[in-house]
Structure 1
Amino acid sequence: MNDLSTETVFRRSFVPNVAYSGQFFYDQLGEVLSEDFDVDHLSSLHELKQHLAECSIITSPEVFIMEVDQEKEVFQLVKDIRANPLTAGAIIILLAERQKEGLKSKALKEKVSDFYIYPFDIDELLERLKFLIKFKLIKPDIKKLIPNTVQEYRMPLGKRLFDICFASLAILFLSPLFLIIALWIKIESRGPIIYRSKRAGTGYKIFDFYKFRSMVVDADQKLKELSKVANQYAESSATSKEPLAFVKIKNDPRVTRVGAFIRNTSIDELPQLFNVLKGDMSIVGNRPLPLYEAELLTSNLWSMRFLGPAGITGLWQISKRGKSEMSDEERKGLDNFYAKNSSFLMDLKIILKTFPALLQKEKV
């Protein structure tokens, strides 16, 4: 049994039930989906709702693929699916005929698993679906069938105690600075003092990541266009055919005056000390990634970085942070190296080298 591959387990022991709602894309997708999955085709959201009302714990779909309707009622159905104990953990993929402002952000807010806009690559969608099924639905079964093949990071007790002591003392010592920065941010621009975003940390665990707000309030909506023309990783990875995993904007126009100062001095990162106390992060580790970056690092080679702790500072910060010659591949390599070789002594060295690295040379 130990010789079984993940693909073999997927094919032999588990055929997921897919509930497909919509008609526009079904002529393209229906036949290929049926090759690997048990597909129930419902032509409308109303039919899907009726279907769900008749499902039991045995017949409830594991996967939902839904076309976004013009009235956007699909988002309320997504909420209902997530609120239902029978389907709360299901994979949900939404398909849209065209891009509309705020549509993708709305989908992510409602915790869909993925979102595609026409035209999309069918083979890519199927590969993504199979990946989600393996790692979200049958991962517990794989652990039972193939023991010791799925690695998990467990933080050493000494590292956790160090994190708690370090973060507590730092918060106490820096509390006057926290108040000054909070007041400064509030005076300069409207919006919250603390910026929260969803990040993927150790083992792809998703949590609320804290920073002092350094940008205008609609910064997230402007990122997509800016990343096309000003991503610092694009220049150093110009010959690569793979999508870039990381985004860093040169001379970011979304940054406020206060933001420019607190970003260049890394003061904006200080609220992450509370993430450390909560156990989401460590003082030293690999940076937790925005979800749009983390979803690109799921291959065997690059997912290694998630087998180490998520941290405030790490090898990236002390080696090439803010330098334009830093490539996408180099950063992933640094993350993987730390995940494989981390130790308490290495952590101490990184902490000592972090302070000189706080003042960045470039505005990124």
Structure 2
Amino acid sequence: MNETASLESNLDNKSKVEYHVSNIQETLDQPIIIFLGESLFKQILDTENGKYELINAQSPELLINLIVNWNTYYSKKPEAILLSDNVLSKLNAEKLEKHKKNSSFKTVPLIVFSDRKNEQTKDLARSIGADEYFHKPIKFKSLIPRIKFYKRLKEAGFSKEDSILNEDKEYSMYFLKRTFDITVSLSILLLVSPLLFLTALIIKLESKGPIFYISKRAGTNYKIFDFYKFRSMQVDADSQLEKLKETANQYQDGNQFVKIKNDPRVTRIGNFIRNTSIDELPQLINVLKGDMSIVGNRPLPLYEAQLLTTDEHAERFLGPAGITGLWQTLKRGKGDMSAEERIMLDRIYVRKNSLLFDFKLMLKTIPALIQAEKV
């Protein structure tokens, strides 16, 4: 036993925390990650040239004490808590959740790692309120977007019940949701009919071409349908897309999705109706037809949908296609949005799938309607 281990063995839990943390100098510009489990230390030791400060909690008791006394030693919250599966059975789930709720750790993601898939381990991970359970190797660089994703999800007010860790649910369009969709879409169309007429007139006067942009989209169960929007771009916009995908696509991580920042194809009136979401109003016709729902996962252009056919990606198509959804409320207009985060948000929506959750998302959609960025 070395000198440090010998000293720590003679300290009580609170003193161990004080001793442990006092030997770690906080660097204000470095994010902090707490981990527990020696196998994890080997995986995340190379943390992108020291961009992250790692704190080894050393034991389940010390982890809980570290959470309780965190604000005494640090001025900022950690980015995440990473746990190896072999420590789960030793953790007091009730005590861990209690102290997380009563501290600044409420929005800190908790992620469990295992060498292989194990349902018992998954159940333990769920019991301690974990946000994710990994049962295959993952590079630290790939882990960071997941951590940011769950951190943003929790900060937006979504609970562990919204986590992707929860069991799969099959989607079916139930009566109440369909009734709600018809009532809301018809009411809004009647209410904004003068605005629809005025928008159509200005589009026709400003540039040659059709009033509506109609494209083929893939919705629930990959069903293909005609998707309606007010035309906000030049008539030859589609022919310019391939070149713009290479130079201006906001999604650069695998390129499953395409969203052009400061799109040069957008007309003057198009810029206004996109930033105010007026261009989306004709999709209420799709809702009335039954192609879409008010709330759901965005129907994708066929060139995007054909890239998302693996089991993990295909899950997003098990839910309803919608005008607004989970990723719009959390990520719309954010330059750091990744395709991976968007897919995870879509999968979470499929698993939640309830009218109450739809109401919650509709309320969160209102402040997201006016975008800060031209995307």
TM-score band, normalised by the shorter chain?
0.5 to 0.7
Q: Which residue of 2 aligns with 1:306?
A: 317
Q: Distance in 1 between matches of 2:276 and 2:197?
A: 17
Q: Which residue of 2 aligns with 1:212?
A: 230
Q: Which residue of 2 aligns with 1:195?
A: 213
How many residues align structurally? 208
Alignment partner of 1:232 out of 210, 226, 250? 250
Q: Does the residue aligned with 1:199 lie in a helix, a strand or coil?
A: strand
Q: Is the 8 A contact 2:171 2:350 kept in 1?
A: no
**Any stretches of 5+ residues in structure 1 without a counterpart?**
1-150, 238-242
Deviation at 1:152, TM superposition (A): 6.3
Alignment of 1:148-167 (within 5 A): 153-167=171-185
Once the two structures are superposed, what CA deviation does each residue of 1:45-83 show, in whole Å capped at 9, x if it has no partner? xxxxxxxxxxxxxxxxxxxxxxxxxxxxxxxxxxxxxxx
Give the letter aligned to residue 185 of structure 1.
I
Asked if 1:324 corresponds to 2:335, the answer is yes
Q: Which residue of 2 aligns with 1:349?
A: 360
Q: Is the 8 A contact 1:317 1:354 kept in 2?
A: yes
Runs of 4+ in 1 over 3 A off after TM superposition: none
Give the letter aligned to residue 172 of structure 1.
L
Asked if 1:182 corresponds to 2:200, the answer is yes
Q: Distance in 1 between matches of 2:342 and 2:354?
A: 19
Give the TM-score taking structure 2 as reference length. Answer: 0.55
Give the letter aligned to residue 193 of structure 1.
I
Q: Which residue of 2 aligns with 1:116?
A: none
Q: Which residue of 2 aligns with 1:292?
A: 303
Give the TM-score taking structure 1 as reference length. Answer: 0.56
Alignment of 1:84-99 (within 5 A): none
Q: Distance in 2 between matches of 1:232 and 1:193?
A: 27
Q: Distance in 2 between matches of 1:152 and 1:223?
A: 35
Q: Which residue of 1 aligns with 2:347?
A: 336
Q: Is the 8 A contact 2:297 2:319 kept in 1?
A: yes
Q: Does the residue aligned with 2:257 lie in a helix, a strand or coil?
A: coil
Q: Distance in 2 between matches of 1:182 and 1:214?
A: 11
Give the letter aligned to residue 227 of structure 1.
K
Give the letter aligned to residue 228 of structure 1.
E
Alignment of 1:108-187 (within 5 A): 153-187=171-205
Give the letter aligned to residue 225 of structure 1.
K
Q: Is the 8 A contact 1:152 1:203 kept in 2?
A: no
Once the two structures are superposed, what CA deviation does each residue of 1:199-239 show, in whole Å capped at 9, x if it has no partner? 000000000000000000010010010010100111xx2xx
Q: Does the residue aligned with 1:354 lie in a helix, a strand or coil?
A: helix
Q: Which residue of 1 aligns with 2:262?
A: 251
Identity level (%): 67
Q: Does the residue aligned with 1:296 lie in a helix, a strand or coil?
A: coil
Give the letter aligned to residue 359 of structure 1.
I
Q: Does the residue aligned with 2:227 lie in a helix, a strand or coil?
A: strand
Q: Is the 8 A contact 2:276 2:370 kept in 1?
A: yes
Q: Is the 8 A contact 2:171 2:353 kept in 1?
A: no
Deviation at 1:153, TM superposition (A): 3.3
Q: Distance in 2 between matches of 1:353 and 1:330?
A: 18
Q: Is the 8 A contact 2:232 2:269 kept in 1?
A: yes
